[in-house]
Amino acid sequence: MVCEVKALACHLPAELGLPFSRLSLRDLRQEVIKRGITAQISGTTIWRWLSQDAIRPWAHRSWIFPRDPAFADKAGRALDLYARVWQDTPLAVGEYVLSADEMSGIQLRQRLRPTQAPRPGRMMRVEHEYRRMGTLAYLAAWDVHRAALFGRIEPRSTIHAFDSLVEQIMSQEPYQSAERVFLVVDNGTVHRGQRSIDRLHARWPQLILVHLPIHASWLNQIEIYFSILRRKVLTPDDFASPEAAANRILAFQDHYQALAQPFEWKFTRGDLARLMVSLSDVHITLPYAA
């Protein structure tokens, strides 16, 4: 019976002939009884059974199905580099791997009343109303193995802005004299396609631009730092001026760099292979009468 209830919970309501977008515990309990799986059962019991396998049909998250035909190959290259391997050969000591991207269109808001510090029995207060002060872009790169962070503030995310970030990296040691520098990026406009590869390689011959598959920014390690920045610096947002916002972002970059350690990256080629298999699984029709 437990397996039957779990199987029922792992189907969309439409597949069960129900006019819902998602199942609640109450909906699921009614279906279990209606289908004759058991004559009586409590919602608490169903919840306990589902929690054993972390099944939560009442919750959902958005995702994008991989549509790049070379998804596994492109993703595998980046995962190999994180493991210090390129084309089945271990990287040499004088070779480096960086991850880069940009946060474009960061909204700059100034609250109409000053933010109030927390007090006993009262959390921090942030005024709901604000005035807009435009946007800015933050471009950054992360040395995957050395935990070195590079970043710059620009009015907009442009090809020139991205090339300036690359120049900021490549103009200093150890990258300036490195044998090879691998730069992992997504398919954003400012570093997309073969033209960006050729443009950057022409200026820095030791630089190899490595593109992730489409919709695979979650494989880009700089996104981990960006998520930390959003939580620690940009939420809640209350800036006195665009300059104050830029200074705070760069000050946090310096603060984080002083404490930084390489991220403990756990997603491997083996995990990628299992993911690709799961995405190709044939959908199994529910064995219950509708």
The tens digit of pLDDT for each residue in 115-158 reads: 999 999 999 999 999 999 999 999 999 999 999 999 999 999 99
DSSP secondary structure letter of residue 15 = G
Looking at residue 286, its pLDDT comes to: 41
Low-confidence residues in the chain, pLDDT < 50: 282-290
Q: Where are the domains of the chain?
A: 2-51, 71-269
Whether residue 174 is preceded by a cis peptide bond, meaning omega within 30 degrees of 0, is yes
SS3 for 131?
Answer: strand
d(CA 91, CA 138): 30
d(CA 182, CA 200): 12
User: 């009614």: which residue's tokens?
Assistant: 30
Looking at residue 281, its pLDDT comes to: 65
CATH number for the domain running over 71-269: 3.30.420.10
Looking at residue 62, its pLDDT comes to: 84
d(CA 180, CA 202): 14
Burial of 51 (0-12, 13-18, 19+ CB in 10 A): exposed
Looking at residue 205, its pLDDT comes to: 97
Q: DSSP states of 200-265 as a string?
A: HHHH-TTEEEEEPPTT-GGG-THHHHHHHHHHHTSSS---SSHHHHHHHHHHHHHHHHHH------
Q: What is the pLDDT of residues 104-122, one digit of tens each?
A: 999 999 999 999 999 999 9
Looking at residue 287, its pLDDT comes to: 44
DSSP secondary structure letter of residue 122 = B
